[in-house]
Structure 1
Amino acid sequence: MRAGLPIALPGMRVGLLGGSFDPAHEGHVHITEMALRRFRLDRVWWLVTPGNPLKAHGPAPLAERIAQARRIVHDPHVEITGIEAQLGTRMTRDTLAALQGLYPRVRFVWLMGADNMVQFDRWDSWREIAARVPIGVIARPGWRMPARFSRAARMLWRDRQPETQAGQLADMVPPAWALINVPLNKQSSSAIRKRLQRTKT
């Protein structure tokens, strides 16, 4: 095991929530709590992405985003990580392959908001991602119905599990996915960034 990576025992159910978290906010905390409960996970790891250094207006520095996330997360079952920077991966497919090699007996579940499910078919190697791990989709304001009828959802319709089986998702052989309806939290990182920019001008 590489130094600095999270500890996970064989058989543990670990949800992976990737994103820039720029900044992390209570909406992220909310969907994490819902995922822990509804998918019956032992842990959720936030994978704070390094960001694209070629973008002129990229995210805040990784260490800053990780530190800010740790200030708002108080659940010991949630670990804030910079795994992709540590592993040197950028694509979700490569990150999952590396984690499954490092933790061969951990039951990973990829977590995403319903808004991401809508454009999941545009992700690089999205079918390979779906074939590697079960996917837990969490409802977000205005995105529940679009997620249900998205191109990826239609192409994976045979693999969709009823919401009543969400607690068994981690034990299922992929491809398998479930969408859970949860109380909605309207916070978003982009809205927070816009408010911060307005206060600076």
Structure 2
Amino acid sequence: MRHQFPYAAPGQVVGLLGGSFDPAHAGHVHITREALKRFGLDQVWWLVSPGNPLKARGPAPLDQRMERAQQVMQHPRVQVTDIEAALGTRYTAQTLARLRQSYPKVRFVWLMGADNLAQFHLWQDWRQIAQTVPMGILARPGQRISARMSRAAALYAPYRIPGRYSQLLARADAPAWCFVNVPMHDASSTAIRATGGWSA
């Protein structure tokens, strides 16, 4: 497979949305578009991962997930990438360190759904991530309360940017994070797999 390294001009702010995308769906597209708008990003890169260390079951083959993601996400400022496979990184903290080396004049913002914030303290080197890049958190169905009560939210409460000032996140220095409520979209990769709408 040909690995894709996207282009970003010096000074641009790039949002990073990582995940197995198994499969990519309209919910991923929805939060990506909201992130571009709410956080004032120049681009969003999807980081389609080789596998999720927190999940016991392996995802569908990477090339299959990449193809689906590129079909689903059609936007001039969004790029679907397999950067983690190219870099050989397994954890988000490693990926961020390599990206910051490769793109020293680009500002990165880590994007995730509120469901990921609720379990963020389980991630490898999660404090390092929070202190390396600003984080944009987008609310998803049923996860608002658990995310706001999470260990990471409590620890980094002094660095939270109120949702009404979300445009400030892109230029904030880490640690900084912003939680925004966006119109709900309940599409789920798990549900799609369960109904037979996706197979490896």
- Report TM bin, short chain: over 0.9
- Aligned-pair CA distance for 1:4: 3.4
- Letter of the 2:105 counterpart: R
- Letter of the 2:77 counterpart: H
> 1:131-153 CA deviation, whole Å, 9 max, x = no partner?
10000000000111111111110
SS for the counterpart of 1:94 is helix
Structure 1 consecutive aligned stretches of length 4 or more whose deviation exceeds 2 Å: none
Residue number in structure 1 paired with 2:68: 68
- 1:151-170 matches, cutoff 5 A: 151-170=151-170
Residue number in structure 1 paired with 2:135: 135
Q: In 2, Cα distance between the equivalents of 1:106 and 1:166?
A: 19
SS for the counterpart of 2:178 is strand
Q: In 2, Cα distance between the equivalents of 1:75 and 1:125?
A: 32
SS for the counterpart of 1:89 is coil
Residue number in structure 2 paired with 1:45: 45
- 1:91-110 matches, cutoff 5 A: 91-110=91-110
> Is the contact between residue 19 and residue 52 of structure 2 (CA under 8 Å) also seen in structure 1?
no
Runs of 5+ consecutive residues of structure 2 not aligned to the other structure: none
Q: In 2, Cα distance between the equivalents of 1:57 and 1:137?
A: 26
- 1:3-42 matches, cutoff 5 A: 4-42=4-42
> 1:146-201 CA deviation, whole Å, 9 max, x = no partner?
1111111001111111112211101111000000010000011001000017x99x
SS for the counterpart of 1:14 is strand
- Letter of the 2:91 counterpart: M
SS for the counterpart of 1:47 is strand
- Letter of the 2:180 counterpart: I
> 1:77-120 CA deviation, whole Å, 9 max, x = no partner?
11000000011101101100000000011110000000000000
- Aligned-pair CA distance for 1:52: 6.1
Residue number in structure 2 paired with 1:188: 188
Q: In 2, Cα distance between the equivalents of 1:64 and 1:56?
A: 19
- Letter of the 2:11 counterpart: G
- Aligned-pair CA distance for 1:76: 1.1
Q: CA RMSD of the aligned region, Å?
A: 1.8
Instruction: Work out the percentage of aligned pairs sharing the same amino acid.
Output: 56
Q: In 2, Cα distance between the equivalents of 1:129 and 1:165?
A: 22
Give the structure-2-normalised TM-score: 0.94
- Letter of the 2:102 counterpart: L
